[in-house]
């Protein structure tokens, strides 16, 4: 019988499925909470324009903000309102429909974020 390097308990009748990383029941997994608590980004908002793979439509992308999903959605709402257009938040990236790079950089600067074109 082979032993894996991170072997151990996989299932327990007491706690159900066990997380291989922290060895806790999946419902009380500390790994998932730690990963969700640390937002990705360096704090400098990089604002760029993209039209590839979008049927010729232009979108403005805002990347690099170290905000949790709720705060990112609220900021996205403010930026979309300032630009007067639609958009969404996908995988920590704000997408605003249309070419609004300068307007978004100015708006982020007013709100206290470091923003640059990129």
pLDDT in tens, 64-91: 988 888 899 999 999 999 999 999 999 8
Q: Name the pTM for this structure.
A: 0.66
The pLDDT of residue 33: 61
Residue 103 to residues 74, 98, 116, Cα–Cα distance (Å): 17, 11, 12
**Residue 36 scores a pLDDT above 70:** no
Specify the domain boundaries for CATH 3.30.780.10 within the chain.
Answer: 44-117
| Distance of alpha carbon 49 from alpha carbon 72, whole angstroms | 19
The pLDDT assigned to 66 comes to 84
CATH 3.30.780.10 fits 44-117, yes or no: yes
State the chain's mean pLDDT as an integer. Answer: 82
Helices (H) and strands (E) in the chain, counts: 3, 7
């Amino acid at each position: 019988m082979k032993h894996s390097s991170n072997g151990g308990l996989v299932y327990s009748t007491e706690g159900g499925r066990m997380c291989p990383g922290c060895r806790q029941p999946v419902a009380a997994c500390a790994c998932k909470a730690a990963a969700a608590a640390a937002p990705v980004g360096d704090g400098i908002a990089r604002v760029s324009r993209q039209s590839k793979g979008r049927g010729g439509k232009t979108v403005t992308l805002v990347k690099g903000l170290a905000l949790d999903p709720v705060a990112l959605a609220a900021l996205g709402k403010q930026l979309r309102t300032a630009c007067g257009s639609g958009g969404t938040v996908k995988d920590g990236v704000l997408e605003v429909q249309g070419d609004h790079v300068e307007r978004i950089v100015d708006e982020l600067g007013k709100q206290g974020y470091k923003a640059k074109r990129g």
